Structure formats: C-alpha cells, structure tokens
Structure 1
Amino acid sequence: MARPTPSMTLALLQARESAMDFFRPHLNRNNITEQQWRVIRILWQAEEQTLESYQLAELACILRPSLTGVLVRLEQNGLVTRWKPENDQRRLCVTLTPKGNELFDSMKDEMMRQYHKIQQRLGPEKYRTLMKLLEEVQQLDSKE
C-alpha cells in the first residue's frame, strides 16, 4: 500500500507553532493571549481602528462565538470598546481604546525584533518567498 503524501495542513500548523515560539514569551509577559494580540493588532492596523465584529472575526481567524469571549476580556481590561451604531442595532463595532493603543505601542518593538529573528534565520529571500507562497495559498478557492 502506498504511503499518503505529507499533510500540507499539518505542516502549516507545525510551522505556525514554531513561529509562535518566538512571540509567546512576550505575549505571556504582557498577559495577552495570541487571540487577544491578533485582535489588538488588527484593530491598530484598521482605518480609524474600528471594525465590525464579523470583519474582526474573519481577519483574526477566530470563530464568532470565540471572538465574543476574547472581546469581553479585552473590554474588561480596558483595551477595546464594543458599541452598536444608533442607525443599526444589529451591528456590533469594536474600537481600540487609548489603553489598547498604549499596549500595542509598548509591545510592537519586541514583536518586530522577533520577526527580524525569523527573517535572519530564514534569510531575506526565503522569507519573501514564504510570505508570497502563503499569500497564494490564502487566495486559493476550494470551490473551483
């Protein structure tokens, strides 16, 4: 019987875990989970630092029910504000607070140092190739 081909999805998960090993100590020192950091970073990068919850869930790769818990904890810590627009109470918007901005600003340099370490270890060309390939995988349409 032929052996199955290596699992791309498992290799991606294992690579993610290896990459996260660079960032977890800094997240832990700041009492922030990986999911919370993704939300903070995405909001920081967003125009006006506000997104609707469904957009945030999609961009952060967090299921909506799980995102609710993440947002509750971030709001309790004063890092985000959740609110509903007056003209459409069905929508839930999330905004980074000044405290959330301060946290991002205090963490970003160390996070960038860790990205730089990864880039150095892979080499600039391999890093660019990796990022390009990952972007291509993200654009694949399974329905074609």
Structure 2
Amino acid sequence: MKVTGFRASARQSLPIASLRWREFHLLPENTRRSLPMALLHAREVVMARFRPMLAAHDVTEQQWRVLRVLSEAGPVEATELADRASVLPPSLTRIIKALEGRRFITRNKAEGDGRRVVLTIAPAGSALIDALSPERRVIYDDIERRLGHEKLEQLLDLLEGLIEGES
C-alpha cells in the first residue's frame, strides 16, 4: 500500500505513535475495523509511551510485565506467572534468568514439589517498580486525560469482558 500525503522526511520525523496512528487511518475501512488490527494498533500507541521509560532502565516489556505481576500478586509459580504476564513459557525461562541476574526476583522450589518453581519479587525489583511509579502515573494520567476517565474505565471493562469470555 502506498502512503500518500506525507513527505518521506516528514514521516520519519514523526513520533512512532503518531506515525502509526496516521498510517492506521490510511488502512482500508474493512482492515481498520478489524478487531485484531485495532487492538494491535492501540497497543502500539500505548506502548510507544512506555518504551522510553523501560529502555531508560534497561527493562524489556516482558520483564516489566513479570515484575508487575510479582509485585501485585506476591509469590507465584512459574506456570501461573507466564499466563498472568502474557509470556510464553520458553521466554519466561530467559526472562527469569535475566531478572535473577539483576537481583530483581528470587526463585525457589515449591514446598512439597521440588519440580515446581515459585518466583518472588526481590527488594531491588520492588525498588524499580517504586522508582518508575511517578513516570508511569504521568503516562497513565495523560492517557486518561485524552480519553476521559469514563471512557478509559469503559474500555478496560470491555477488554476484561472479552478476555474473561475466553477463559
């Protein structure tokens, strides 16, 4: 598909979220109204706001999701963590090693079953979550300001309903 209306240099200087949003609106109507495409584009718009914050702390999106789940849920078995953080189990093994290496999490064998692994956020991981909270809050507040509190809550409720319908 040829994108018209943008000079190449102008397109390259746009922030990625803005560029993707504009490209999204140039898609044919049937693609633009496709739920998978809309969800992917919405994710990109949102994550474009968070990626610089994560990159500044050398944390990947997947690592961040794992830390957030452990921070909120407490000790969790690896299989449950993979599911709750939306990470494939083979990827989780690599993520665990990286986060352990940075002392953000600890890994222990489950009581009564040495084959199962229980993961816990470590003090350094909690400190990172706390350190990023103000910046996260600014990003969330801006998204809420743009959408409005009611619409944001409605969007989250709709997405939760979609997810729960598949569980």
> Under a length normalisation based on structure 1, what TM-score does the superposition of the two structures give?
0.90
Residue 70 (structure 1) aligned with residue 95 (structure 2): yes
Q: Deviations over 1:42-92 (max 9, x none)?
A: 10101xx21000110000010100111111100011111111124211111
Structure 2 segments unaligned to the other structure (5+ residues): 1-28
Q: Distance in 2 between matches of 1:54 and 1:134?
A: 23
Cα separation, partners in 2 of 1:68 and 1:122, compared to 1, 3 Å:
same
Q: Distance in 2 between matches of 1:80 and 1:124?
A: 34
Q: Which residue of 1 aligns with 2:127?
A: 102
DSSP 3-state at the match of 1:92: strand
DSSP 3-state at the match of 1:93: strand
Q: Distance in 2 between matches of 1:66 and 1:32?
A: 15
Q: Deviations over 1:14-38 (max 9, x none)?
A: 1011001111111011111001111
Q: Which residue of 2 aligns with 1:138?
A: 163
Give 1:141 shift: 3.1
Q: Which residue of 1 aligns with 2:84?
A: 59
Larger radius of gyration: 2
Q: Distance in 2 between matches of 1:106 and 1:4?
A: 43
Residue 36 (structure 1) aligned with residue 63 (structure 2): yes
Cα separation, partners in 2 of 1:113 and 1:90, compared to 1, 3 Å:
same
Give 1:4 shift: 5.3
* Worse overlay, 49-58 or 81-90: 81-90
Q: Distance in 1 between matches of 2:161 and 2:112?
A: 38
* Worse overlay, 114-123 or 132-141: 132-141
Q: CA RMSD in A?
A: 1.6
Q: Distance in 2 between matches of 1:124 and 1:97?
A: 33
Q: Distance in 2 between matches of 1:34 and 1:124?
A: 25
Structure 1 segments unaligned to the other structure (5+ residues): none
Give 1:127 shift: 0.8
Residue 17 (structure 1) aligned with residue 44 (structure 2): yes
Amino acid at match of 1:20: M
DSSP 3-state at the match of 2:110: coil
